[in-house]
Amino acid sequence: MHFIKEMPKYNFVRSSVILLLLVVLAGCASVPLDYPRVSTVALTDTGGTHLAKESAVWRDGRLQENGFYPLTEGEDAFGARLALMGQAEVGIDAQYFLMKPDNAGLVFTDKLLEAADRGVRVRLLLDDVFTTVDDVYFSFMNAHPNVEVRIFNPISRKGLYVFNYIGHFSLANRRMHNKSFIVDNQAAIVGGRNIAAEYFQLETSGEFIDFDMLVTGPVVSEVSVEFDTYWNNELAIPIEAIDKTPDPATVQKDWERLRAEMAKAGDTIYAEAVNSPLMHQFLKGELDPYIAEARVIVDDPRKLRVAISAAEQIVITEIAKELNKAKQEIIIFTPYFIPGKSGIEFLKKIRAKGVKIVLITNSLASNNHTSVHSAYSSYRHDLLDMGVELWEARADAARITVEASDTTLSEPLTLHTKGILVDRRQIFVGSLNLDPRSIDINTEMGILIDSEELGARMANDALAIIPAIAYRLSLDEKRKISWHATIDGREVVETREPLTSAWRRFTAWFLRIVPEQQL
- How does strand 413-415 pair with strand 207-209? parallel
Looking at residue 168, its amino acid is H
Residue 167's pLDDT is 83
For the beta carbon of residue 228, count every other beta carbon within 10 angstroms: 16
CA 227, CA 233: separation in Å to the nearest integer?
Answer: 10
For the beta carbon of residue 272, count every other beta carbon within 10 angstroms: 15
Say if CB 88 and CB 51 are below 8 A apart: yes
Residue 278's pLDDT is 82
For the beta carbon of residue 350, count every other beta carbon within 10 angstroms: 19
Domains and CATH numbers, the chain: 41-283 (3.30.870.10), 293-518 (3.30.870.10)
Residue 4's pLDDT is 32
CA 275, CA 162: separation in Å to the nearest integer?
Answer: 44
For the beta carbon of residue 276, count every other beta carbon within 10 angstroms: 18
Per-residue DSSP letter, 473: E
> Each residue's pLDDT tens digit in the chain (519 positions)?
222 333 334 454 455 544 444 455 455 677 888 899 999 999 999 999 999 998 888 888 888 899 999 999 999 999 999 999 999 999 999 999 999 988 899 889 989 999 999 999 999 999 999 999 988 889 889 989 999 999 999 998 887 878 888 888 889 999 999 999 999 999 999 999 999 999 998 865 567 899 999 999 999 999 999 999 999 999 999 999 987 666 667 667 766 776 677 667 666 777 778 777 887 787 777 888 999 999 999 999 999 999 999 999 999 999 999 999 999 999 999 999 999 999 999 999 999 999 999 999 999 999 999 999 999 999 999 999 999 999 999 999 876 654 444 444 456 889 999 999 999 999 999 999 999 999 999 999 999 999 999 999 999 999 999 999 999 999 999 999 999 999 988 999 999 999 999 999 999 999 999 988 887
Residue 245's pLDDT is 62
Say if CB 195 and CB 100 are below 8 A apart: yes
Say if CB 204 and CB 104 are below 8 A apart: no
Residue 251's pLDDT is 64
CA 358, CA 347: separation in Å to the nearest integer?
Answer: 11
Region class of 306: left (phi > 0), else alpha (psi between -120 and 50), else beta: beta
